[in-house]
Chains A and B, each alone.
Chain A
Amino acid sequence: MNEKQVEKSPRILTLVKGIIKENPLFVTLLGTCPALATTTSIESALGMGLLFMFVLIGSNIVISLLRKITPSEVKIPVYIVVIATFVTIVKMFSQAYLPELYSKLGVFISLIVVNCIVLGRAEAFASKNGVFDSFLDAIGNGIGYTLAIVIIAFFRELLGTGGFTFGKTLTFIPYIKFTPLKDYAISMFTMPTGGFLVLGVVLAFLAYRTNKKQEIEAFKEKEARRLSKEEAK
Chain B
Amino acid sequence: MIVTFILAIINGMLVDNVILSRFYGICPFLGVSKKTNSALGMGVAVVFVIVLATLITWPLYHFVLVKAGIPYMDTITYILVIASLVQFVEMVIKKYSPSLYKALGVYLPLITTNCAVLGVAQGNTDQGLTFLMSLSNALGTSLGFLLIIVVFSCIRTRLEASNVPKCLKGVPIALITAALMSLAFIGLNGMINI
Partner of A193, one of B24, B25, B182: B182
User: Residue on A with the closest CB to B26?
Assistant: A32
Partner of A201, one of B20, B176, B182: B176
Is B105 part of the contact surface with A, judged by Cβ < 8 Å? Answer: no
Is A19 part of the contact surface with B, judged by Cβ < 8 Å? Answer: no
Q: Are A200 and B76 in contact (CB under 8 A)?
A: no
Q: Are A33 and B27 in contact (CB under 8 A)?
A: yes
Shortest beta-carbon distance, A71 to chain B, in Å? 16
Task: Provide the residues of chain A in CB contact with B176, threshold 8 Å.
Answer: 196-197, 200-201, 204
Please judge, given known A-B contacts A37-B23, A81-B80, A205-B167, whether A111 and B115 are in contact too, CB under 8 Å.
yes
Q: Are A191 and B186 in contact (CB under 8 A)?
A: yes
Task: Provide the residues of chain A in CB contact with B114, threshold 8 Å.
Answer: 114
5 residue pairs A–B, Cβ–Cβ below 8 Å: A115-B115, A192-B23, A200-B173, A203-B175, A211-B166
Q: Are A114 and B79 in contact (CB under 8 A)?
A: yes
Is B72 part of the contact surface with A, judged by Cβ < 8 Å? Answer: yes
Is A62 part of the contact surface with B, judged by Cβ < 8 Å? Answer: no
Task: Report the number of A-B residue pairs with Cβ-Cβ less than 8 Å.
Answer: 125
User: Residue on A with the closest CB to B164?
Assistant: A204
Is B30 part of the contact surface with A, judged by Cβ < 8 Å? Answer: yes
Task: Provide the residues of chain B in CB contact with A114, threshold 8 Å.
Answer: 79, 112-115, 117-118
User: Residue on B with the closest CB to A196?
Assistant: B179
CA separation between A194 and B23, bound complex, in Å?
12
Task: Provide the residues of chain A in CB contact with B172, threshold 8 Å.
Answer: 200-201, 203-204, 207
B38-68 near A? 1/0 per residue, CB < 8 Å = 0000000000000000000000000000000
User: Residue on B with the closest CB to A30?
Assistant: B27
Binds B, one of A84-92, A157-165, A166-174, A217-225: A84-92
Is A227 part of the contact surface with B, judged by Cβ < 8 Å? Answer: no
Shortest beta-carbon distance, B34 to chain A, in Å? 14
Please judge, given known A-B contacts A107-B123, A191-B186, A208-B167, whether A33 and B23 are in contact too, CB under 8 Å.
yes
Task: Provide the residues of chain A in CB contact with B30, threshold 8 Å.
Answer: 29, 32
Interface residues of A (CB under 8 A from B): 29-34, 36-37, 76-77, 80-81, 84-85, 87-88, 91-92, 106-107, 110-111, 113-116, 119, 188, 191-197, 199-201, 203-205, 207-208, 211
Please judge, given known A-B contacts A107-B119, A200-B176, A211-B167, whether A193 and B183 are in contact too, CB under 8 Å.
yes
CA separation between A167 and B182, bound complex, in Å?
30
Task: Provide the residues of chain A in CB contact with B166, threshold 8 Å.
Answer: 207-208, 211
Q: Are B21 and A110 in contact (CB under 8 A)?
A: no
CA separation between A81 and B25, bound complex, in Å?
21
Interface residues of B (CB under 8 A from A): 20-27, 30, 72-76, 79-80, 83, 112-115, 117-119, 122-123, 126, 166-176, 178-180, 182-183, 186
Q: Are B21 and A192 in contact (CB under 8 A)?
A: yes
Task: Provide the residues of chain A in CB contact with B167, threshold 8 Å.
Answer: 204-205, 207-208, 211
Q: Are B73 and A88 in contact (CB under 8 A)?
A: yes
Q: Kindly name the residue among A31, A92, A193 whose own CB sees the greatest number of chain B CB atoms within 10 A.
A: A193
Shortest beta-carbon distance, A125 to chain B, in Å? 17
CA separation between A219 and B170, bound complex, in Å?
25
Task: Provide the residues of chain B in CB contact with A116, threshold 8 Å.
Answer: 27, 113
Please judge, given known A-B contacts A114-B118, A207-B167, whether A85 and B76 are in contact too, CB under 8 Å.
yes
Task: Provide the residues of chain B in CB contact with A208, threshold 8 Å.
Answer: 166-167
User: Residue on B with the closest CB to A83?
Assistant: B79
CA separation between A114 and B80, bound complex, in Å?
11
CA separation between A41 and B122, bound complex, in Å?
24
CA separation between A107 and B127, bound complex, in Å?
10
CA separation between A215 and B113, bound complex, in Å?
37
Task: Provide the residues of chain A in CB contact with B73, threshold 8 Å.
Answer: 88
Please judge, given known A-B contacts A84-B75, A110-B75, A204-B167, whether A196 and B80 are in contact too, CB under 8 Å.
no
Give 4 closest A-B pairs by Cβ, nearest first: A200-B175, A196-B179, A208-B167, A204-B172
